[in-house]
Amino acid sequence: MPRSRSVAREIPGVDWRLWPGELAQPDWTEIFAAPSDPPLRIHVDIGFGRGEFLTELARREPDAGFIGIERDFERVLKFARQLSRMPIRNIRLIGSAAEWAVREAFADASVTSFWINFPDPWPKRDHRRRRLIAPRFVAELARKLAPGGGLYVATDDADYAAAIDAVLSRVRGLYNAHSPDRFRNRRSAPHTTRFEQQWTQGGRQCFYFQYRSRAPSVATVLTADRPPRSVPGLPELPRKRA
């Protein structure tokens, strides 16, 4: 349950942020004060930005727990202030790098869904190593997903979309829920972000990926050194030189 903290004086109401000491495999049922039967459904929004997408998800499923992860302290603080004035009680916030939070805060096969909306594409070639959607991280997400759980990724960058497709399609334990399509250009969720609405209305193309978990225990990166498959509508990635 939330408790007062001297470091959170800037929050006008209840502070729904969680701190590093509370994230060593926490008991989410206890944190959300939820009944244990049926098991609490946990949804995670990575890089929640302004928070409107996460807020709408939480409103539509009030009996589930929603965790927002964002590494930008100012964004976390701003959204925490907004949440403190809202009647919503099923959102908790983690201010941290996503890789650390996912590893520390969630048990294997425990998460119903991960949402990653428009992560930074790091378009410069020298910066692409910083991209969030990378083989190790996606394998970690796959391990944390409950059987049948979903991984939803969206981007408006065609080059990044090609890289995302290559990464997701090479992780054992996940299957493409949009198959035979590699992706969709329209979101299957019932709502969008504010920026997303502006982009689509302006004619910008977006790419939506949806993968689901088979068996988290076998989620592992394929090691075969093969070039990514060509995807209609996406640029081909350069082949690895011998």
Active site residues: 120
Helix (H, G, I), strand (E, B) or coil at 41: coil
| Beta sheet of 174-176, edge-to-edge order | 17-18, 91-95, 65-70, 42-46, 111-117, 145-155, 207-213, 174-176
Distance CA 153, CA 46 (A): 10
In DSSP notation, 165-191 reads HHHHTTBTTEEETTTTSS-BSS--SS-
Tell me if the bond preceding 38 is cis, omega within 30° of 0: yes
